[in-house]
Amino acid sequence: MGKAQSKQGGARVRFPPPFVFLLLILCGVSLQRWLWPLTIATGSWLRVGAGTSIALGGAALMLNARRWFSRTGQHPAPWLPSPELLVQGVYRYTRNPMYLGFTLFQVGLGIAADNGWIAMLAPVSLLIVHFLAVRPEEAYLGETFGQSYRNYTRSVRRYL
């Protein structure tokens, strides 16, 4: 077992990344309710429409990425082994479409719900996931796929 590999054979990720986004969304709800409401100054219909569009775009990105896992017979849990490097579909444009999708979903949810805290905590969520999951995943993929993964990282950005 390599340094970057978990006991299950995948990356050494110890906490499910979606829970980071969920926890920070709940923090945003709590801050809004009990500490200091942080609203978004724009018309209600415009704010809800823009927020919903961003959230749906993030969800579509997540679902599209998940579909590529299914097509290749893989599971998206980072602690499980990756028998194949995903470089098709949305993975041609971003190496982390699920985490990018979760971030967009959180931003859109915050805007649509008129909760600035949720939206402002989205980059914090991604930063935590970057160190909690992305870095270990990159180490694992580099160890597992070697030069193929290094070539991929040179041609496709991590997020945008």
- Structural domains in the chain (count): 1
Mean pLDDT value of segment 36-50: 90
Q: Indicate if the pLDDT at residue 4 is higher than 90.
A: no
Average per-residue pLDDT for the chain: 95
Q: Which residues contact 105 (CB under 8 A, 6 or more apart)?
A: 21, 54, 55, 58, 59, 62
| pLDDT at position 120 | 98
Whether 101 maps to a domain, the answer reads yes
Whether 7 maps to a domain, the answer reads no
Q: Indicate if the pLDDT at residue 49 is higher than 70.
A: yes
pLDDT digits (tens, 9 = 90+) for 122-147: 999 999 999 999 999 999 999 999 99
| pLDDT at position 1 | 58
pLDDT digits (tens, 9 = 90+) for 89-128: 999 999 999 999 999 999 999 999 999 999 999 999 999 9
Whether 29 maps to a domain, the answer reads no
Whether 12 maps to a domain, the answer reads no
Whether 117 maps to a domain, the answer reads yes
DSSP conformation class of 33: I
Sign of the dihedral through C-alpha 118, 104, 47, 22: negative
Give the residue numbers spanning the domain of 91: 45-155
Tell me the whole-structure pTM to 2 decimals. 0.94
Whether 71 maps to a domain, the answer reads yes
